[in-house]
Structure 1
Amino acid sequence: MKRNLLFITILATVFLKAQFSVSVQTPAHFQGKEAILYTLNGSKDIIAARENRKGNGLNFRVPTPYTGMMKVYFPEVNAAFNLISENKEISIILETSTDKINNVIYRDEANILMENIQDHQKKTEMIAPALVQIQEFYRKDSDFGKAVHKEIERLKVKPTIDATKNPFVHYYHTNYNIYLTEKPAKAPDQNEILKFIQNSGDMLETSSLLRPLLIRYMNTAGNAQVSEATDRLLHALNTETARGQTVLSELIEIFDVYSMTEMKEKYLTLAKNLKCTINDRLASTIASNKNVELGAVFPDYSFQSATNTQTKTLHSVKADKKVIVFWSSTCSHCEADLPVLLEKYHQLKDKNIEIIGLSLDSDAASYRNKIAALPWINDSELRGWNSSYTETYNISATPTYFVLDAANKIIARPDHAADVLTFLNIK
């Protein structure tokens, strides 16, 4: 019995040591009450914890070890800030005005170091060259000349990072400077990037470096060789491994963002045909694409505060056909495209065709000003790209269009408003 109790005690001690907390202090007037803590997998945010503010504070408890990028998001006010974890206690103070975060004050060693290094790097890249030119216009023995010289010399000294004390900070900045900096000492070639992706440790997925690395890898191949380079990369990684599947997921999404439809379909088909166990990252990519395939029933959506309708859900809108458009008031392409639909709206209504606009706006005033001139059904969560429907409907760009039949099946996915009208035979 004593041995069992000892074993349980040891397990409990190990478990508790594996945990860490993220403490966030906010001003009393800040409107964000609910908060979500995210970890990172490739370029995808993963919910780690949810908390409601108690007084002026939030305290997230992370139950498992985690090293990498994190984000805290306040959905009620669509405000967020980034941080890093090295599996240690994290403490943060927010300075806000109403519902906006003005300043993030980090109080733990790792985040302070990360912020200082990033600040130094920005100043080195953007300000140091200007300071060198400014220095020429001032006497070296003047107060300002001395100050400029001192700052130039300070920026020449690169911060040192102890890899044993701050492994993630060291990993991130070392590899960013090798593979992703705009002016590397030696630009890495395709083989070097491939070997790094293949052999790098677990922090690659949590670092935010993976997607830009993949884009740089494909850029080194040139347009004509992208397919061959992608096949080579996936063969080296093995799509039956977790990394291979995460990279495959990222590639499918990259090809989608850049409208490389044939490439996207090729690797989405590869993903669907895998016979091994699929990890969560790839499974979510397959699922969100399946939701919006031609012939699929468009997933229902409960409106938040829809205009120009009394209906509560997308499916409950009665029409022979529905045009779903994902848009934003800040999207220049939408600015050009939506008037095309507006001009023909009465013809669409005469054919019992309804338009439903789901906005990716985050600014309420901008959204409301825009929809004042749009007579169709409009709705928005006012969470920008944090809106729930971006993942459900695999939205990576605006505007994005779907045409549904009366049973809410997807019958077309036009690229532009003009293509919508052509499909619907509106002239």
Structure 2
Amino acid sequence: MKKILYVSSILLSAYAFPQFSVNVQIPSYLSDSDIYLYGFNGSKEILYSKAKISNNKAVFKVDKKYVGMMRAFFQKTNSSVNMVSENKNIDFKVELDSKNKFSNVTFNDQTNQLFSNDVEQQKKKELILPALIQIKDYYKPSENFYISLESEISLLSKDDQAMYEAHPFLDFYNKNQKFSVQEKATELKPQDYIDFYSKSGEYLETSLILKPSLINYLNVSKSNVEGGVDKLLEAVNLETPRGQTILSELIDIFNTYNMDKLKQKYLSEGNNLKCTINDRLASTLKSNNNTEIGAKMPNNTFVNAIHTKAKSLYDIKSSKKIVVFWSSTCSHCEAELPKLLEKYDKLKAQNIEIVGLSLDSNLDEFKSKANIYPWVSDSEGKGWYSSYGDTYNISATPTYFVLDADNKIISKPNHVADVLDYLKVN
């Protein structure tokens, strides 16, 4: 019995302590900021930890194994830092300029030093190397500048795979970047992509390569996109987690680019699956089904509302509601929302209310802009990390919904002119 208890205590200890931590030295300006750490499942960000801040140090504790790309989001500055996790401790320092914008990020752990250096080298390869090769032709081999150019060209042309031997995720990331780089997409054939998706190991979903590579795959399959998607989904098998994650990504891409026919086809395939559905696909299906014409729009509880005493979207009673997702930094919103303002009195006369849900990260900027408009406005102050994206399938601003008195979606106009035309307001 004592031996069993001893083993149990070891197991409890394993669960009680984190797998690894992320430690960030921050300037005092960020000491009162909410800072979040996200991992990835395809392009979907998964919240792993919220930082505990003390003495200008933010510490994230991660209690489960994770290998892949991660992102720290600093809400006060609406800024992010990408990093690589090998399920080991990560340590970096953030510096701000005089305007409190990120000026420098310095990593102290070996993995992210290697990753940062590699990113910098890749930029130089793409932007500087071709120019250096051209410039070299204007100098004689005996000249010192020619010799310096040769040295730099040799350094930038070097591809030392040996340095990745102890870093399998970085090795995967480095070798497969070609699938996500648009300029290299035309060098690959559709079958190259299919082989990549069907044969890649566990790192694909956490690499941030999946979504951009799928966009490139659709581009190289443009002569028959639907046929290309069908062939891809057959190869990856929709009854597997990999196949379902790829289906989810494709539905999101079709939604973003208004490819409605393809979106509806593959949304139906997802809804008709009889096997166990993974969380990634389940989330995509739910957010799309929640916002189809005829569906009752999910309620939203207000947290920073202005121009109303209502506590939620459902509390606002009107014959119709226009729900618009916007932000104070969105140029299209700047162009379109004043046109709603011009017709606001006519809308109110028909008992039509407007509710603006903002994807701002700075609440002061939100309130400054929202106070220009007389309608109900609210924001969670979390930017694109707001719950609106997942709940209402929002991928761009402005996005409009028209609801009836029972909060059922009766129209999803693309632009403000479509909103006014649908409601016959001129």
So what's the TM-score if we normalise by structure 1? 0.90
Q: Distance in 2 between matches of 1:426 and 1:13?
A: 65
Q: Distance in 2 between matches of 1:135 and 1:163?
A: 31
* 2:111 paired residue number: 110
* 3-state SS of paired residue (1:315): helix
Which letter maps to 1:129? P
How far the C-alpha of 1:14 sits from its partner, in A, is 6.9
Q: Distance in 2 between matches of 1:227 and 1:144?
A: 54
Q: Distance in 2 between matches of 1:184 and 1:415?
A: 33
Which letter maps to 2:347? L
| Stretch deviating more after TM superposition (249-258 or 184-193) | 184-193
Which letter maps to 1:103? N
How far the C-alpha of 1:194 sits from its partner, in A, is 0.3
Which letter maps to 1:46? I
* 3-state SS of paired residue (1:355): strand
Closer, same or farther in 2 for the Cα pair 1:316/1:303, shift >3 Å? same
* 3-state SS of paired residue (1:85): strand
Within 5 Å, give how 1:28-177 maps onto structure 2. 28-97=28-97, 100-134=101-135, 147-177=148-178
Contact 1:324 1:403 in 2 (8 A): yes
How far the C-alpha of 1:258 sits from its partner, in A, is 0.7
Q: Distance in 2 between matches of 1:369 and 1:100?
A: 21
Closer, same or farther in 2 for the Cα pair 1:352/1:183, shift >3 Å? closer
Contact 2:323 2:402 in 1 (8 A): yes
Which letter maps to 2:95? E
Q: Distance in 2 between matches of 1:375 and 1:15?
A: 51
Q: Distance in 1 between matches of 2:362 and 2:388?
A: 17
Which letter maps to 2:415? H
Closer, same or farther in 2 for the Cα pair 1:186/1:262, shift >3 Å? closer
* 1:400 paired residue number: 399
How far the C-alpha of 1:18 sits from its partner, in A, is 8.4
* 2:210 paired residue number: 210
* 1:348 paired residue number: 347
**Residue 189 (structure 1) aligned with residue 202 (structure 2):** no
Q: Distance in 1 between matches of 2:214 and 2:48?
A: 26
Q: Distance in 2 between matches of 1:293 and 1:86?
A: 40
* 3-state SS of paired residue (2:161): coil
For residues 78-102 of structure 1, the C-alpha deviation after alignment (integer angstroms, 9 at most, x for no partner) is 3321111112221112223575433
* 2:385 paired residue number: 386
**Residue 276 (structure 1) aligned with residue 275 (structure 2):** yes
Which letter maps to 1:273? N
* 3-state SS of paired residue (1:188): coil
How far the C-alpha of 1:389 sits from its partner, in A, is 1.1
Closer, same or farther in 2 for the Cα pair 1:47/1:145, shift >3 Å? same
Q: Distance in 1 between matches of 2:13 and 2:316?
A: 55
Which letter maps to 1:24? V
Closer, same or farther in 2 for the Cα pair 1:322/1:156, shift >3 Å? same
Contact 2:347 2:425 in 1 (8 A): yes
| Stretch deviating more after TM superposition (298-307 or 77-86) | 298-307
Q: Number of residue pairs matched?
A: 425
Closer, same or farther in 2 for the Cα pair 1:182/1:227, shift >3 Å? closer
Within 5 Å, give how 1:404-415 maps onto structure 2. 404-415=403-414
Contact 1:73 1:79 in 2 (8 A): yes
Structure 2 gaps of 5+ residues are none
Which letter maps to 2:56? N
Closer, same or farther in 2 for the Cα pair 1:186/1:274, shift >3 Å? closer
| Stretch deviating more after TM superposition (259-268 or 86-95) | 86-95
Q: Distance in 1 between matches of 2:101 and 2:143?
A: 41
Contact 2:18 2:61 in 1 (8 A): no
| Stretch deviating more after TM superposition (91-100 or 137-146) | 137-146
How far the C-alpha of 1:293 sits from its partner, in A, is 2.0
Q: Distance in 1 between matches of 2:13 and 2:82?
A: 30
Q: Distance in 2 between matches of 1:266 and 1:184?
A: 29
Q: Distance in 1 between matches of 2:94 and 2:86?
A: 20
So what's the TM-score if we normalise by structure 2? 0.90
Which letter maps to 1:292? T
Which letter maps to 2:170? V
Which letter maps to 1:423? Y
How far the C-alpha of 1:111 sits from its partner, in A, is 0.6
Q: Distance in 1 between matches of 2:162 and 2:268?
A: 43
Closer, same or farther in 2 for the Cα pair 1:18/1:327, shift >3 Å? closer
Closer, same or farther in 2 for the Cα pair 1:303/1:145, shift >3 Å? farther
Identity %: 46
